[in-house]
Amino acid sequence: MRDIAGQAVWITGAGTGIGRALAVAFAEAGCRLALTGRSRDSLAETQRMVEAVGGTAMLAIADVSDAHQVTQAHLAVAAALGDVDILVNNAGTNARKRHWADLSPADMAAVVDVNLKGPFLCSLAVLPAMRERRAGLLIHVASVAGTGIFAVSGPSYTASKHGTRAMSATINAEEGIHGIRSVCINPGEVATPILDTRPRPPSPEERAIMIQPEDIAAVAVFWTFQRLLA
């Protein structure tokens, strides 16, 4: 199997949970990393973990729901690493008051902006160079909530994850002829800090039997081999 060492990987939501596990896994595969999130301290901790496994990572602080911040982050990533080979749209959020009876317009917008608008903005940033090179991979961490209707997720999260799946499919439909591939990972419950926003957060015992962030990272690296180097 060919390796992916040297590939430039841009990961959003890299400060905690799945994003942090993704960074470590891609670092162990020899990739060059760019880490994006809103908290410099959290990203710096991920950077230290990447370095502990022999990897390198630069930080590009940004709120992925803000078009200007995404543009500036992408410019910084491209300046440091060159064109992005692999974009991992992982940043995600949910609201504690998430159901129709108590959902506010502000909470709805905050969830949709991060979960759906963010992947759109980051994808738009990297696609032109990928199109020119006729190569590139986009990985989107969505959810099983994007494949069906699960009451626990709330309407904003559910709609945003359905949208992410549709977005990924349209990238393949329009950009596949340019050598660009898009993969959507749709996990069930994963033991990450986003669970703390639930009206009733799961117990430590419940989290212990859930999918772990490292499991999703392993899937992402596997699909990178399968899709990018096929």
DSSP-assigned states of every residue in 34-68: EEEES-HHHHHHHHHHHHHTT-EEEEEE--TT-HH
> Which of 86, 95, 114, 157 is labelled catalytic?
157
Query: 């060919």: which residue's tokens?
Result: 2
Coil, strand, or helix at residue 160?
helix
How far, in Å, CA of 209 to CA of 212, rounded? 8
For residue 227, give both structure tokens.
């899709």
User: Quick check: is 104 catalytic?
Assistant: no
Beta-ladder partners of 86: 9, 137
Report the distance separating Cα 85 and Cα 187, nearest Å.
Answer: 24
Catalytic center residues: 157
